[in-house]
Every structure is written in structure tokens, then in C-alpha cells.
Amino acid sequence: MRNLEIFESPGLIVYPDRVKRNIAKVIEMVDGNPARLRPHIKTHKTKEGNDLLLAAGITKFKCATIAEAELLALSEAPDVLISMQLIGPNLDRFKELVTYYPKTKFSSIVDDAFAASELNRIFADLSTGVYVDLNMGMNRTGILPAKALALIQHIETLPNVTLRGLHAYDGHIRDKVYEDRVKHVETDFTSFYKLLERLNRSDLELVVSGTPSFLVHHKNPQFTCSPGTFIFFDAGYAALFPENTFEFGVEIIARIISKPTDTTICLDLGHKSVAAENPIDNRVRFLDHPNWVLKSQSEEHGIVEVGDNSAYTIGEIIRMIPYHICPTVNLHSHLQVIDGGLWEVKARNRRLCY
């Protein structure tokens, strides 16, 4: 391992060997069958991450933006699902993507008849696949399973759109006790199984699971699971997984830049360096100082309560794990590789070419 002193701060340090072990572990959890995985790349947003997943035998992917989809196409990923209902100019961008990268099979999700019809209109001289997005209780997007049959029947009338599967994301299921999580999945997926009975089709891919519910869904061989955070992992999901399931593939480093009082230090770790959507005392876990508490942040500074700060020096490096890795990565243009080099976070941009 290289000396951390050579790395810039604030920054993210990626450990590729840990990332590889996380990928191997998630494949092991689906009985060694990578065809049962469709990992979401919103966490890493890098070509290097894509390439490690592909090298492990994973061929199906999920993403949230056209830029992420294009990044997958640059890695020649065979199968890409954009898990957003595309509308407006994004439909034209999507068509350009499909036209320019013929080696990749692209699909998107729909939960509305108008959106499906618009997709059909844009693809008048082509064809594209869709997955019906189901509302499994998160109440963010999706159609209720009880109402989905009419939408599916409408899609089947559209000449340029092919139904490829169902998308049942359940990111709201994150009960701390595993047995409660199992019951939560059973309850919320009752309507999903009823829809499957009504459809009576075996040709549809069933894409399910957020990262916490993956612990439940991976045991069902019917399902293609789509966790994303596992590749880097974070402090938020570590609290929901058994110890030693996944490793922290990325760490934040910052430096002490000031000691404004006898009991506090100031780090070069502001809002611009770590996701700020969580309460101030729950944004990072200090790896080497578990009792430290982040007290406040501004754009470039983070104030930490440390007790007596006389033992700490200006310039000292502090290691942390973010509570939420996905938006934290999105704040950084590059990941610094522990053994040298950089991974560019290409898909943090809203547009690559298309």
C-alpha cells in the first residue's frame, strides 16, 4: 500500500482489490451465476468499475442516466437498462445512443401509457425494449402492480416497443433486523406475485432489489437482482449487512488544516466533498477515531469535535467512510487509486456525447 501522504485531499481513495472481492462476493451470493445480476452503476460511475464487473462475467447492467448508459456502451456492455422513464429531449438522446452503439442492447422503463406511446413514436424506424416499472411501496415512481396489466396490454399494441421485463425496485425496504426485512419483502411483493399469476409469462426478466433487500431477493432464482452500492459499500449499508459481507472499496481522506479551539479540529472536508443529505453527525464514519463527531460543515471546511486536540497536528491525514457513497462519488472528478493512477468519474457529467 502506498503512503497516503502522496494523495490529494479532500479525496477518494479506491482499493481495486477490495472492489474485486466485493464483486466476487455478490456473484457468490447468487450461487455463482452472474446472469442473475444486473448491477446499478450509479455508485461508481467509472469505466474501470464497469470493466471489472464485465471481467467477472457480468453482462447485464442498470443505470439512471443516459451518460451512465453511454459509459457502459464504451465498455461494450452487452445489455443496459436505464431505470428512468425517459421523456422530452431525453427520448431523442436515447435514440441517438441506440443508433450509435449497436453492440449494446438498450432498454428503459415505463410506468405510463403516454410515456410508452412517446417512446414508440420516437422509435418509429427502429425498435426498443421496455420494462414496466412497478411501485412496490417506495411511492417514488412506478405503477401499482394491480393496475399494471392494462399498461402491459397497451405496450403490446405498440409496434416499435417490446416488453422485456418488469422492474420492481424496493429501495424503501431497509429494516435493520433481517427477519423484519424478510417480512417486509413478503408483504410488499404479494401484489407482484399476483401480477405474475395474471400474466402467466415465463419470458420476462424480473429485475428486483435495492441493496438492503438483496439479502432477501438473492435467494429467489426467478429474480435478476440489481444492487449497486456493494461495489464500494458505505457506512449506511454496513449497518444493514452482516459483518464482513462486503468491504469498503473507497475511503475519504482529508487533512487537518486548523485547530480553532482546544477540543476541535478543522478538516478540508466540506459540502463539496461528501454527500450532505444526511444529518451532520451521520455523514461520515471516522475509521481510526470512532468517537469523533462531525459538528458542522461549510463548502470547504468540516469542524470535528475530538476532545483534547493536542495530540493531532496540522497536515495530519484523517480517513473516513461516507454514510452514502453514491452521491459522494458524484462530487469528485477522479478516484485516486491506492496503488497509483486515477479512475475518472466520467458519468458524473450529464452528457458524454449523446
pLDDT digit string, tens, across residues 260-288: 999 999 999 999 999 999 999 999 999 99
Within 8 A by CB and 6+ apart from 350, the residues are 65, 67
Span(s) in the chain for CATH 3.20.20.10 = 16-234
Per-residue pLDDT, 354? 82
Give me the mean pLDDT over the 16-37 stretch.
98
The strand pair at 105-110 and 79-82 is best described as parallel
| Model confidence band, residue 175 (pLDDT cutoffs 50, 70, 90) | very high
Give me the mean pLDDT over the 224-234 stretch.
98
Contact 175, 181 (CB under 8 A): yes
User: Using CA atoms, how far apart are residues 92 and 66, in angstroms rounded to an integer?
Assistant: 11
Within 8 A by CB and 6+ apart from 182, the residues are 216
Per-residue pLDDT, 3? 85
Span(s) in the chain for CATH 2.40.37.20 = 250-348
Per-residue pLDDT, 1? 47
Nearest to 218 by CA among 36, 38, 61: 36
**What class is the 16-234 domain?**
alpha beta
**pLDDT surpassing 90 at residue 179:** yes
Query: Distances in Å between the alpha carbon of 300 and those of 71, 303, 311?
Result: 30, 10, 24
**pLDDT surpassing 60 at residue 49:** yes
The CATH number given to 250-348 is: 2.40.37.20
pLDDT digit string, tens, across residues 81-135: 999 999 999 999 999 999 999 999 999 999 999 999 999 999 999 999 999 999 9
Helices (H) and strands (E) in the chain, counts: 11, 16
pLDDT digit string, tens, across residues 134-165: 999 999 999 999 999 999 999 999 999 999 99
Per-residue pLDDT, 2? 67
User: Using CA atoms, how far apart are residues 208 and 234, in angstroms rounded to an integer?
Assistant: 21
